[in-house]
């Protein structure tokens, strides 16, 4: 199965139209399978594995179906093009997300090229965990890079995501040094990185790198049921969701360090 | 559109409001009156019935138009009038607010048959006293074989009558009530006063040569017009007297001054031209009211309210006669008056118009005849006042166009956020060219307004029922086509037999059978429409309404005889999405994948998917492509199938063809109101997987829960329909979650979505219902009904169904807070 994935075939678990929070304007998000991280709070747990997994049907839990399938490049491009008028009117476009969109980097590159050929604005949402050469190449192929910083501390990063943060931070520096726009995002997770000390530490890490703006993604439980459908354990079970109004003091810390934080 | 039925009963003030609401609050007296009106149960008033019967008894010998005028005169001179303590404008439709007058000349059979059940209906209840029942029983014999409905039924040819009797074609509303579905020229009423119309009519009357029989006939109409105008003026003067009387005993000086001013105003308007904003609003209301006493047709609309009233508002503002707050209060006063108007329908018709709606539409924004943005200060005040009253009436429509400012659209979205389904957006970008292509003059096309809900016409120049002719049930038509032209339930032959579905060997054969059947059915629609129209023309002309619609005076005849400048009508095709989804499912499952045989499918439909195989079949049908997902497989099938019907619709004319108006023709229409519910109730299971009795899809909206690819896909699918020929309205209702409207940047993206739909995809109409707590709770209990429900948080959106119960609970709790 995996061998089929190539520059012309991508393994995709969802193509979501009318996405509003993944770059400017009205966008279509292409969610690619496979992720080198295994974040405890991941809201798309099925997306972590590159291989297709079976999930219980949300409406009929006794039924099982594949969480994803392989798409030919042309099919993905055609689906994205269906909403071209909306991109043009709103200044939107297509965002590649995951999983980690750089896992299937050959497909990602050819999809980005095909979309840009159609004049469509492109963005990528990445964990930053990719080989520097691949990261740098894709950075040059995309109009907007959206990169997560999951934790400021190397060990904590490893504890909660399965990998340490050396590579993402190295790639972040590369991205910041390049010319294109970069948006840094921090998922704010209770018990992981949501304390005010965490906020201070994030600032001390990011401000010297030249980051002036971060988007905070308050923890939500939208993925909870997916673990159930997959039959997987869920570390964040029962943890309350955060909402924008809960993040006031956290955002204030960023402000004090000269970094604009928004939700 | 689907009016918010629950709006009257469940209106609550926002639970969390930090500071003042965006649009401010009603003044205390309007707030108190609003509460009182909401607490007032609907009732039945017999005054109009008794006075009408009296006139008809005495004047049976008069020409019909004069009898109608004398009826209006008798009613306006003798009905009870009152002035509420809070109001600044006068005019009541019946002896109490929210009391529905019985109008016996339209139909009495259902009134008498249902008399004892009015106050025990499952919905739309009306209180009625025993005394009132007795009075109606007393007049009933006079109306036997003497009503519009009797006449209409006898004019229906037997073969077409079968369709009426079987409930396949539904013109019930057309012969049990008056026409309406119209807006008159209020601008001219304000500029000239009714005196101007009177002068013109007198002039025309004196010029007639009565030796010419045609002109003799015109003289009856002109005399009827003069009687009616005088009756309206007398009615206004009755209020002027009452206000003056009340002023003499009013202890509070402020109110005394108001009553004195009201008395002055009603002595002047609507007879004389209006000069102040207050005078103008009073004149509009009194005429709007009299039109609804003359006839009980609904969708009697205000037209382009902000355009014809702004000159009075601006001038009062400039001279310091009024302030924006005072003007807002006056508008809220008008809206509260608007909600006092009531209509009782037969139970069978009530189910097509649930919630007792009168659809009195107010249209704002749009463009001036030279193509500039027409938004003015009063447009904003209309939004503000409608937001403050938050009632199902008036029906608020905003005319969208490319140049409509983001600022005004943001205000529209603020109104949407209040969650009562308003405003609806209609788009100039498609409607104006579509009208001009049908022969409407450019200046008139630029002056269109919404009528009722989604349908459009030129105020004061267009005949009745730009939509609102017969309802045709598409899925039932398809089932008849599949059943060799016979009604599946009764076996009654209804259309030319082509072939039974179980004998069909290709999908093309089905499309062929559909084409034959829907064309024949559509012809029966036209026959039934014409039968009703002949009856309406011969029995119940509306003299006041005709006076105020060009060019009835010039031509010397009422609208129904061809008096209007334009006269296009449309019926309502119901179950659009079900038709497309059914065809796609049949094509895919029976003829392509061959997972279901034709015989199995037919059996499954007949048994409502009974048994294990039935359930399997239903699942296969469910999985076939569905309209609303930008999937050409189904969208093109629907366009083709609907096209057969539209071709037939365009081949026919109405009873005014060749009698004066431009048009005299039909186009298609889809504003099914709530007809999708009763029409679904009487329809067996359909090949789209819909169970027997379940509602059909509303308007052009996708079937409930079938659109799983978000709003851009819905818009794109709908835009593939032949909008240019569905001038009767391409109705699209959309849901939006409150979270989507919480942040300015998200609201801005909603504006972009709408602009794309209208600017790029030639969208006709869209209306947003904010998903409320009740819907979310229902989705939690019945996920299968809400497959399309999307909820969002920053950076993430998900189908509600796949969320855990705890997360769903969290969203539900927060939804309550937002609204």
Mind spelling out the 3-state secondary structure of B749-804? Answer: HHHHHHHHHHHHCCCCEEEEEECCHHHHHHHHHCHHHHCCCEEEECCEEEEHHHCC
User: Is the pLDDT assigned to residue B673 strictly greater than 50?
Assistant: yes
- State the smallest CA–CA distance between residue A199 and chain B in angstroms: 19
**Per-residue pLDDT at B167:** 81
Q: Which residue in A has a C-alpha nearest to residue B750's C-alpha?
A: A26
Is residue A4, in this structure, part of any structural domain at all? no
Q: What is the pLDDT of residues B528-556, one digit of tens each?
A: 999 999 999 999 999 999 999 999 999 99
Q: Radius of gyration over alpha carbons of chain A, in Å? A: 18
Is residue A86, in this structure, part of any structural domain at all? yes
CB B472 within 8 A of CB B575: no
Touching check for B623 and chain A: CB below 8 Å?
A: no
pLDDT band for position B678 (50/70/90)?
Answer: confident
> Could you give the ipTM of this predicted complex?
0.92
**Per-residue pLDDT at B13:** 34
For B802, the closest of A21, A226, A243 (CB atoms) is A226
Least Cα distance to B165 among B533, B608, B494 occurs for B494
Q: Which residue in B has a C-alpha nearest to residue A243's C-alpha?
A: B793
pLDDT band for position B817 (50/70/90)?
Answer: very low
Q: Which residue in B has a C-alpha nearest to residue A88's C-alpha?
A: B756
On chain B, the residues whose CB falls within 8 A of the CB of A82 are 630, 712-713, 716
C-alpha–C-alpha distance, residues A19 and A92, integer Å: 9
On chain A, the residues whose CB falls within 8 A of the CB of B787 are 59
Catalytic site residue from B45, B90, B412, B453: B453
Cβ <8 Å between A224 and B806: yes
User: Is the pLDDT assigned to residue B10 strictly greater than 70?
Assistant: no
pLDDT band for position B279 (50/70/90)?
Answer: very high
C-alpha–C-alpha distance, residues B384 and B313, integer Å: 15
Is residue A112, in this structure, part of any structural domain at all? yes
Burial-class residue B728 by CB neighbours within 10 Å (0-12, 13-18, 19+). Answer: buried
**Which of residues B566 and B710 earns the better pLDDT score?**
B566
Is residue A131, in this structure, part of any structural domain at all? yes
Averaged pLDDT of chain B = 92
Cα angle, residue B96 at apex, residues B93 and B97 outer, rounded to 5°: 70
Touching check for B749 and chain A: CB below 8 Å?
A: yes
- State the smallest CA–CA distance between residue A87 and chain B in angstroms: 9
- State the smallest CA–CA distance between residue A214 and chain B in angstroms: 13
Cβ <8 Å between B803 and A16: no
**Domain range enclosing A55:** 9-262
Q: Which residue in B has a C-alpha nearest to residue A90's C-alpha?
A: B752
Q: Which residue in A has a C-alpha nearest to residue B785's C-alpha?
A: A59
For A222, the closest of B713, B796, B814 (CB atoms) is B796
pLDDT band for position B19 (50/70/90)?
Answer: low
For A221, the closest of B752, B795, B804 (CB atoms) is B804
**Per-residue pLDDT at B16:** 37
Q: What 3-state DSSP class applies to B81? A: coil
C-alpha–C-alpha distance, residues A29 and A18, integer Å: 8
For A241, the closest of B711, B760, B810 (CB atoms) is B810
Phi-psi region of B663 (alpha: psi -120 to 50; beta: other; left: phi over 0): left
On chain B, the residues whose CB falls within 8 A of the CB of A90 are 749, 752-753, 755-756
Q: Any residues with CB less than 8 A from the CB of B574 and at least 6 apart, and which?
A: B471, B472, B473, B474, B670, B672, B675, B676, B679, B696
The mean pLDDT value for B249-268 works out to 98
Touching check for A24 and chain B: CB below 8 Å?
A: no
**Per-residue pLDDT at A225:** 85
The CATH number of the domain where A212 resides is what? 3.20.20.70
User: Is the pLDDT assigned to residue B69 strictly greater than 60?
Assistant: yes
For B712, the closest of A26, A229, A263 (CB atoms) is A26
Cβ <8 Å between B794 and A26: no
Per residue of chain A (263 residues), what is the pLDDT tens digit?
Answer: 445 678 999 999 999 999 988 999 999 999 999 999 999 999 989 899 999 888 877 667 677 778 899 999 999 999 999 999 999 999 999 999 999 999 999 999 999 999 999 999 999 999 999 999 999 999 999 999 999 999 999 999 999 999 999 999 999 999 999 988 999 999 999 999 999 999 999 999 999 999 999 999 999 988 888 898 888 999 999 899 998 889 999 999 999 999 999 99
pLDDT band for position B778 (50/70/90)?
Answer: confident
Q: What share of chain A is helix, strand, coil (3-state, %, to 5)?
A: 35, 20, 40
B466 counts as catalytic: no
**Per-residue pLDDT at A230:** 87
On chain B, the residues whose CB falls within 8 A of the CB of A222 are 793, 796, 798, 803, 807
Element (H, E) at B572: strand B572-574
CB A89 within 8 A of CB B755: yes
Touching check for B12 and chain A: CB below 8 Å?
A: no
**Per-residue pLDDT at A59:** 64
On chain A, the residues whose CB falls within 8 A of the CB of B716 are 82-83
CB B480 within 8 A of CB B524: no
- State the smallest CA–CA distance between residue A225 and chain B in angstroms: 5
Touching check for A26 and chain B: CB below 8 Å?
A: yes
For A221, the closest of B713, B716, B806 (CB atoms) is B806
Cβ <8 Å between A26 and B756: yes
User: Is the pLDDT assigned to residue B108 strictly greater than 70?
Assistant: yes
B220 C-beta neighbours (distance < 10 Å), count = 18
- State the smallest CA–CA distance between residue B227 and chain A in angstroms: 56
How many pairs of residues across A and B have Cβ atoms under 8 Å apart? 103
The strand ranges marked E within B238-378 are 300-301, 303-304, 361-365
The mean pLDDT value for B95-113 works out to 96
Helix H, strand E, coil C: the string for B129-176 is CHHHHHHHHHHHHHHCCCCHHHHHHHHCCHHHHHHHHCCCEECHHHHH
**Per-residue pLDDT at B795:** 47
Is residue A2, in this structure, part of any structural domain at all? no
On chain A, the residues whose CB falls within 8 A of the CB of B709 are 17
Is residue A1, in this structure, part of any structural domain at all? no
Q: How many domains does chain A have?
A: 1
Is residue A124, in this structure, part of any structural domain at all? yes
Burial-class residue B140 by CB neighbours within 10 Å (0-12, 13-18, 19+). Answer: middle
**Per-residue pLDDT at B587:** 98
**Per-residue pLDDT at B467:** 86
B290 counts as catalytic: no
User: Is the pLDDT assigned to residue B354 strictly greater than 70?
Assistant: no
Is residue A3, in this structure, part of any structural domain at all? no
Chain A window 126-155: which residues touch B at a Cβ cutoff of 8 Å?
A: none
Q: Which residue in A has a C-alpha nearest to residue B743's C-alpha?
A: A263
On chain B, the residues whose CB falls within 8 A of the CB of A91 are 752
Phi-psi region of A227 (alpha: psi -120 to 50; beta: other; left: phi over 0): alpha
Touching check for B607 and chain A: CB below 8 Å?
A: no
Q: What is the pLDDT of residues B510-519, one digit of tens each?
A: 999 999 999 9
Touching check for B817 and chain A: CB below 8 Å?
A: no
């Amino acid at each position: 199965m995996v061998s089929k994935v190539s520059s012309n075939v991508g393994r995709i678990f969802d193509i979501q139209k009318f996405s509003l929070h993944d770059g400017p304007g009205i966008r279509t998000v292409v969610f690619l399978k496979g992720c080198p991280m295994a974040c405890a709070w991941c809201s798309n747990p099925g997306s972590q594995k590159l291989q297709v997994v079976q999930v219980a049907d949300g409406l009929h839990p006794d039924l099982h179906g594949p969480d994803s399938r392989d798409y030919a490049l042309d099919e993905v491009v055609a689906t994205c093009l269906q909403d071209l008028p909306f991109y043009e009117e709103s200044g939107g476009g297509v965002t590649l997300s995951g999983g980690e969109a750089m896992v299937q980097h050959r497909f990602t590159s050819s999809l980005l090229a095909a979309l840009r050929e159609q004049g469509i604005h492109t963005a990528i949402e990445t964990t930053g965990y990719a080989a520097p050469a691949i990261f740098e190449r894709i950075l040059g192929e995309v109009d907007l890079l959206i990169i997560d910083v999951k934790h400021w501390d190397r060990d904590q990063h490893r504890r909660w995501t399965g990998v340490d943060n050396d590579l993402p931070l190295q790639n972040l520096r590369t991205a910041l040094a390049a010319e294109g726009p970069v948006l840094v995002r921090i998922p704010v997770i209770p018990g992981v990185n949501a304390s005010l000390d965490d906020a201070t530490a994030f600032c001390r890490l990011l401000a010297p790198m030249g980051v002036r703006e971060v988007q905070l993604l308050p923890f939500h439980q939208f993925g909870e049921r997916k673990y159930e459908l997959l039959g997987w354990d869920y570390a964040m079970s029962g943890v309350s969701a955060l909402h924008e109004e809960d993040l006031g003091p956290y955002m204030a810390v960023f402000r004090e360090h000269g970094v604009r934080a928004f939700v | 559109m689907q009016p918010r039925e629950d709006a009257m009963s469940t209106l609550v003030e926002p639970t969390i409001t930090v500071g003042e609401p965006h649009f401010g609050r009603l003044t205390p007296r309007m707030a108190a009156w609003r509460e009182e009106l909401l607490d007032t149960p609907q009732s039945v008033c017999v005054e109009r019935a008794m006075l009408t019967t009296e006139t008809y008894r005495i004047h049976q010998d008069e020409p019909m138009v004069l009898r109608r005028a004398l009826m209006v005169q008798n009613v306006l001179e003798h009905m009870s009038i009152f002035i509420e303590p809070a109001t600044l404008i006068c005019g009541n439709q019946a002896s109490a607010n929210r009391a529905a007058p019985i109008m016996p000349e339209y139909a009495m059979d259902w009134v008498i048959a249902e008399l004892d059940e009015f106050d025990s209906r499952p919905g739309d209840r009306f209180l009625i006293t025993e005394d009132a029942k007795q009075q109606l029983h007393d007049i009933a014999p006079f109306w036997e074989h003497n009503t519009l409905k009797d006449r209409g039924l006898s004019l229906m040819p037997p073969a077409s009558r079968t369709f009426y009797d079987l409930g396949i074609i539904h013109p019930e509303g057309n012969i049990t009530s008056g026409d309406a579905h119209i807006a008159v020229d209020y601008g001219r009423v304000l500029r000239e006063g009714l005196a101007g119309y009177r002068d013109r009519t007198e002039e025309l009357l004196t010029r007639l040569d009565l030796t010419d029989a045609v002109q003799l006939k015109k003289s009856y109409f002109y005399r009827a017009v003069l009687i009616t105008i005088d009756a309206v003026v007398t009615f206004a003067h009755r209020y002027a007297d009452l206000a003056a009387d009340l002023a003499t005993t009013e202890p509070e000086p402020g109110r005394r001054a108001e009553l004195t001013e009201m008395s002055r105003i009603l002595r002047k308007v609507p007879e004389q031209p209006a000069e102040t904003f207050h005078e103008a609003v009073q004149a509009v209301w009194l005429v709007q009211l009299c039109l609804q006493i003359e006839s009980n047709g609904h969708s009697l609309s205000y037209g382009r309210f902000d355009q014809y009233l702004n000159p009075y508002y601006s001038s009062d503002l400039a001279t310091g006669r009024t302030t924006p707050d005072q003007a807002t209060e006056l508008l809220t006063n008008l809206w509260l008056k608007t909600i006092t108007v009531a209509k009782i329908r037969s139970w069978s018709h009530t189910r097509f118009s649930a919630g007792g709606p009168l659809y009195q539409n107010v249209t704002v924004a749009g463009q001036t005849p030279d193509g500039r943005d027409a938004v003015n200060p009063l447009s904003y005040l209309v939004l503000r006042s409608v937001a403050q009253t938050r009632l199902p009436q008036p029906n608020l429509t905003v005319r969208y166009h490319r140049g409509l400012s983001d600022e005004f659209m943001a205000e529209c979205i603020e109104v949407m956020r209040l969650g009562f389904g308003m405003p609806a957006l209609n788009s100039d970008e498609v409607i104006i060219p579509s009208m001009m292509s049908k022969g409407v003059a450019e200046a008139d096309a630029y002056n269109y307004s919404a009528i009722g809900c989604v349908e459009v016409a030129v105020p004061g120049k267009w005949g009745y029922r730009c939509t609102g002719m017969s309802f045709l049930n598409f899925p039932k038509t398809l089932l008849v086509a599949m059943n060799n032209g016979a009604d599946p339930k009764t076996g009654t032959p209804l259309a030319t037999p082509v072939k039974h579905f179980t004998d069909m060997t290709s999908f093309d054969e089905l499309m062929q059978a559909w084409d034959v059947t829907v064309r024949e059915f559509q012809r029966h629609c036209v026959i039934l429409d014409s039968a009703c129209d002949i009856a309406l023309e011969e029995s119940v002309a509306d003299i006041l309404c005709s006076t105020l619609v060009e060019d009835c005076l010039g031509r010397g005849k009422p609208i129904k005889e061809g008096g209007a400048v334009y006269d296009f009508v449309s019926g309502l095709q119901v179950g659009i999405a079900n038709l497309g989804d059914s065809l796609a499912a049949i094509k895919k499952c029976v003829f392509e994948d061959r997972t279901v045989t034709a015989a199995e499918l037919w059996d499954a439909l007949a048994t409502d998917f009974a048994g294990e195989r039935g359930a399997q079949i239903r699942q296969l049908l469910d999985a076939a492509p569905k309209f609303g997902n930008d999937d050409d497989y189904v969208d093109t099938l629907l366009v083709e199938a609907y096209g057969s019907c539209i071709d037939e619709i365009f081949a026919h004319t109405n009873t005014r063809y060749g009698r004066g108006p431009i048009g005299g023709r039909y186009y298609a229409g889809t504003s099914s109101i709530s007809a999708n519910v009763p029409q679904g109730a009487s329809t067996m299971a359909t090949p789209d997987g819909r169970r027997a009795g379940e509602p059909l899809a509303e308007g052009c909206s996708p079937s409930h829960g079938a659109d799983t690819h978000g709003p851009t896909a819905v818009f794109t699918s709908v835009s593939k329909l032949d909008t240019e020929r569905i001038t009767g309205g391409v109705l699209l209702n959309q849901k939006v979650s409150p979270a989507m409207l919480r942040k300015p940047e998200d609201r801005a993206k909603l504006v972009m979505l709408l602009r794309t739909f209208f600017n790029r995809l030639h969208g006709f109409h869209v209306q947003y219902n904010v998903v409320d707590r009740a819907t979310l709770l229902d989705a939690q209990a019945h996920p299968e009904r809400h497959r399309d429900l999307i909820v969002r948080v920053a950076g993430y959106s998900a189908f509600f169904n796949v969320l855990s119960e705890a997360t769903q609970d969290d969203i539900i709790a927060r939804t309550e807070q937002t609204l």
